[in-house]
Amino acid sequence: MKLQTRYTDISELLAIEDMPTRAADPALLLFNDKLAQSLGISHDPEYLAGQLSGSITDDSVKPIALGYSGHQFGHFSPHLGDGRAHLLGAVKDVEGVLWDIQLKGAGATVFSRGGDGRCAIGPAVREFIMSEAMAALGVATTRCLAVVTTGETVYRQPPRPGAVVTRVAKSHIRVGSFQYLATQGDIEGLEKLVDYALSCHFPEIDTRAEQRYVDFLTAVIDKQIELIISWMRVGFIHGVMNTDNTLVSGETIDYGPCAMMNQFDFDTVFSSIDHQGRYAFGNQPNIANWNCARLAESLLPLFKNEQQALSLLSSAVNSFAEKFNHAFTTMWRRKLGLLDEHDDNQALVTELLTLMQQNNLDYTNTFNALTESLLADFALPDSIKGWAAKWRVRTSAESYDIMRAVNPAVIPRNHNIEMILAEYEKTGCSSMLNGFLSVLSKPYVYDQQFESWYEPPENGDANYQTFCGT
DSSP H helix total and E strand total for the chain = 16, 11
d(CA 52, CA 145): 9
- On whether the CB atoms of residues 140 and 149 are closer than 8 A, the answer is no
Instruction: Pick the closer one to ligand AMP by CB: 117 or 122.
Output: 117
Among 6, 84, 233, 294, binds ligand AMP (CB under 6 A): 84
Q: Please report, as residue ranges, which positions from 365 to 384 form the binding site for ligand AMP (by CB under 6 A).
A: none
Among 54, 81, 107, 408, binds ligand AMP (CB under 6 A): 81
Instruction: Pick the closer one to ligand AMP by CB: 81 or 456.
Output: 81
Is 254 one of the binding residues for Mg ion (CB under 5 A)? yes
Inter-axis angle of helices 284-299 and 320-335, nearest 10 = 150
Contacts of 423-432 with CB under 8 Å at 24 or more apart are: 424/125, 425/121, 425/122, 425/161, 430/29, 430/30
Work out how close the CB of 397 gets to ligand AMP at its nearest, in angstroms, rounded to a whole number.
Answer: 46
Instruction: Pick the closer one to ligand AMP by CB: 110 or 327.
Output: 110
Among 131, 224, 245, 271, binds Mg ion (CB under 5 A): 245
**Amino acid occupying residue 228:** I
- On whether the CB atoms of residues 411 and 443 are closer than 8 A, the answer is yes
Give the CB-nearest residue to Mg ion.
254
Is 127 one of the binding residues for Mg ion (CB under 5 A)? no
Is the alpha carbon torsion for 272, 468, 174, 234 positive or negative? negative
Decide: helix, strand or coil at residue 7.
Answer: coil
Q: Which window, 110-118, 159-167, 318-326, 410-418, contacts ligand AMP (CB under 6 A)?
A: 110-118
344 is catalytic: no
Is the alpha carbon torsion for 321, 327, 328, 333 positive or negative? positive
Is the alpha carbon torsion for 41, 47, 53, 56 positive or negative? negative
Question: Helices marked H in 359-457 — which ranges?
Answer: 363-373, 385-392, 399-406, 414-427, 431-440, 451-454
- The mark string for 14-43 relative to ligand AMP (x by CB under 6 A, - otherwise) is ------------------------------
Among 18, 82, 132, 251, binds ligand AMP (CB under 6 A): 82
Write down the catalytic residue from 100, 186, 244, 461: 244
Work out how close the CB of 420 gets to Mg ion at its nearest, in angstroms, rounded to a whole number.
Answer: 24
Is 107 one of the binding residues for ligand AMP (CB under 6 A)? no
- On whether the CB atoms of residues 252 and 134 are closer than 8 A, the answer is yes
Q: Cα torsion for 174, 465, 73, 267, to the nearest 10°? A: 100
Instruction: Pick the closer one to Mg ion by CB: 115 or 159.
Output: 115
DSSP code of 13? T
Work out how close the CB of 218 gets to ligand AMP at its nearest, in angstroms, rounded to a whole number.
Answer: 26
Please count the other Cβ atoms lying within 10 Å of the Cβ belonging to residue 16. Answer: 18
Is 176 one of the binding residues for ligand AMP (CB under 6 A)? no
| Total of residues contacting ligand AMP (CB under 6 A) | 17
Is 386 one of the binding residues for ligand AMP (CB under 6 A)? no
Q: Which window, 92-100, 250-258, 272-280, 395-403, contacts Mg ion (CB under 5 A)?
A: 250-258
Q: Which among Mg ion, ligand AMP, none contacts residue 351 (Cβ within 5 to 8 A by kind)? A: none
Q: Which window, 9-17, 75-83, 220-228, 327-335, contacts ligand AMP (CB under 6 A)?
A: 75-83
Instruction: Pick the closer one to ligand AMP by CB: 167 or 212.
Output: 167
Is 80 one of the binding residues for ligand AMP (CB under 6 A)? yes
Q: Please report, as residue ranges, which positions from 250 to 309 form the binding site for ligand AMP (by CB under 6 A).
A: 254, 256
Number of alpha carbons in the 13 Å side-chain half-sphere of residue 165:
29
CA dist 9 → 170, 189, 190 (Å): 18, 9, 12
CA-based nearest residue to 14, from 199, 176, 132, 214: 176
Q: Which among Mg ion, ligand AMP, none contacts residue 80 (Cβ within 5 to 8 A by kind)? A: ligand AMP
**Amino acid occupying residue 453:** W
How do the residues of the chain divide into helix, strand and coil, expressed in percent and rounded to 5? 45, 15, 40
Q: Please report, as residue ranges, which positions from 197 to 256 form the binding site for ligand AMP (by CB under 6 A).
A: 240, 244-245, 254, 256
Q: Which positions are annotated as active-site residues?
A: 244
Footprint on this chain of ligand AMP (rule: CB under 6 A): 80-84, 112, 115-118, 240, 244-245, 254, 256, 468-469
Residues that bind Mg ion (CB under 5 A): 245, 254
